Amino acid sequence: MSDTDVKYGLAGVIADDTAVSKVMPEINSLTYRGYKVQDLATKCRFEEVAYLIWNGDLPTQAELDAFNAREKKERGLADDVLRVMGMLSKHAHPMDRLRTAVSFLGQTDDTTDDSTPAGLYEKSIRMFAKIPEIVAADYRLRTGQAPIAADPDLDFSENFFNMCFGEVPKPEIVKCFDISMTLYAEHSFNASTYTARAIASSTSDIYSAVVGAIGSLKGPLHGGANEAVMHMLNEVGSPDNARAWMLDALATKKKIMGFGHRVYRSGDSRVPTMTDAYEKMVDVIGSEEAASYWEMSKILNETMVAEKGIYPNLDFPTGPAYHLMGFEITTFTPIFVVSRITGWTAHVMEQLANNKLVRPLSNYVGPDQRDVVAIADRG
């Protein structure tokens, strides 16, 4: 094998078939099961999109009602899950705490090793219901507050706000969050999804696949970017400083968080929808702080595109949007998990429906073969 055969970062490699989503970088488009993601985000609630991702079609009202009832039945965290979460270090990143909680959940589930299609679907809905509860409870435990139980009268996004803050905000804010859920739900063979598929390919269990995917998503080059964007905005500080900050960062060759994408080179198809929702939310909040983040984002975006021709990715608008919704920065990537659990589990199901163990080759660059000298003769 020659060096040129190596596809570093698997860039450009088509590793398997998928019917879950299609990324079309040449026309900046992304579809879930054939539907444009921007239409799904604005016309459907996240629960409908979750149903679509798993079942291949949008639900009828009756199908959605049955699906919601099933999800609501799975809500509720057992005492031992909360006890384990209470034992975790408050200084650990919430992604590390979430990873441990999901791992714990897996070993308490008697059906963990049932990888039949029905068994996988059941556990996917279980995690879809319980992960938001874990993320919300974790936030409250870390901040010295008692967890709030899920409310069966609230829909998915409203319930998440209520479990975090004990109240549901204005509809525009809930809609902005719900849109972000749809936009984050699925994105073909990104690092965490491929991690989940690789783990599933050994016919390991679905919880193990999700735990591995959470570890992958944590990195700032992947899901952790939404947190990094917020740190960047806080460092920039004010709209007046935004252009100069960006020019200096580019001159000193800094990686600008929330910009660039391995697949999209001329814009991320999810960004305009999220930016619209973020702008509407800024108007509804009407505070000076909200206006300042909006202005900063706008100037940073314009400067980056003009100077480098590199466009924002979805993490760029979601970072400040989540901050303005009231979430603390370290909760941003766990919120990504609340959504992406749908895509990950759909891919695990797809992988196992036509499984081939993931086992790429490597290009060896170490020493040539040599003889082992006994320790006494090594000098």
Nearest by Cα to 74 from 125, 133, 120: 125
DSSP states along 60-113:
PHHHHHHHHHHHHHH----HHHHHHHHHS-TTS-HHHHHHHHHHHHHHH-TTTT
Q: Which stretch binds ligand COA (CB under 6 A): 18-26, 160-168, 235-243, 308-316?
A: 308-316
Annotated catalytic residue, options 16, 93, 222, 276: 222
Q: To the nearest whole angstrom, how small is the minimum distance from the Cβ of residue 140 to ligand COA?
A: 28
Q: To the nearest whole angstrom, how small is the minimum distance from the Cβ of residue 173 to ligand COA?
A: 24
Q: To the nearest whole angstrom, how small is the minimum distance from the Cβ of residue 330 to ligand COA?
A: 17
DSSP states along 306-347:
HHH---B-THHHHHHHHHHHT--GGGHHHHHHHHHHHHHHHH
Q: Which stretch binds ligand COA (CB under 6 A): 13-21, 237-245, 249-257, 359-367?
A: 249-257
CB neighbourhood size of 298 (10 A): 14
Q: To the nearest whole angstrom, how small is the minimum distance from the Cβ of residue 247 to ligand COA?
A: 12
Using CB positions, name the residue nearest to ligand COA. Answer: 260
Q: Is 222 among the catalytic positions? A: yes
336 counts as binding ligand COA under rule CB under 6 A: no
138 counts as binding ligand COA under rule CB under 6 A: no
Neighbouring residues of 94: CB distance < 8 A, sequence distance ≥ 6: 135, 138, 139, 142, 330, 331, 333, 334
Is 51 or 184 the residue whose CB approaches ligand COA more closely?
184
Burial class (CB in 10 A: 0-12, 13-18, 19+), 306: exposed
Supply 71's token pair.
């999800």
Is 257 or 337 the residue whose CB approaches ligand COA more closely?
257
Q: Which stretch binds ligand COA (CB under 6 A): 21-29, 44-52, 252-260, 319-327?
A: 252-260
Q: To the nearest whole angstrom, how small is the minimum distance from the Cβ of residue 110 to ligand COA?
A: 37
CB neighbourhood size of 144 (10 A): 7
Q: Which stretch binds ligand COA (CB under 6 A): 122-130, 253-261, 289-297, 317-325?
A: 253-261
Among 15, 221, 247, 306, binds ligand COA (CB under 6 A): 221
Among 225, 233, 236, 285, binds ligand COA (CB under 6 A): 225
Among 73, 90, 231, 255, binds ligand COA (CB under 6 A): 255
Alpha-carbon span 154 to 2, nearest angstrom: 58
Q: Is 315 among the catalytic positions? A: yes
Q: To the nearest whole angstrom, how small is the minimum distance from the Cβ of residue 78 to ligand COA?
A: 34
Phi, psi torsion values for 285, nearest 5 degrees? -65, -45
Alpha-carbon span 267 to 309, nearest angstrom: 10
300 counts as binding ligand COA under rule CB under 6 A: no
Is 8 or 364 the residue whose CB approaches ligand COA more closely?
8
Q: Which amino acid is at 250?
A: L
Alpha-carbon span 292 to 370, nearest angstrom: 63
Counting every residue written for the chain, the total comes to 379
β-sheet with 35-36: strand ranges across: 21-24, 29-32, 35-36
**Of 32-51, which residues contact ligand COA (CB under 6 A)?**
none
197 counts as binding ligand COA under rule CB under 6 A: no
CB neighbourhood size of 178 (10 A): 24
Annotated catalytic residue, options 138, 205, 261, 347: 261
260 counts as binding ligand COA under rule CB under 6 A: yes
Among 131, 164, 198, 257, binds ligand COA (CB under 6 A): 257
CB neighbourhood size of 89 (10 A): 10
Phi, psi torsion values for 250, nearest 5 degrees? -70, -40
Among 32, 46, 51, 259, binds ligand COA (CB under 6 A): 259
Is 186 or 315 the residue whose CB approaches ligand COA more closely?
315
Is 73 or 255 the residue whose CB approaches ligand COA more closely?
255
Annotated catalytic residue, options 138, 187, 315, 347: 315
Provide the annotated active-site residues.
222, 261, 315
Contacts with ligand COA, residue ranges (CB under 6 A): 221, 225, 255-262, 310, 313, 315
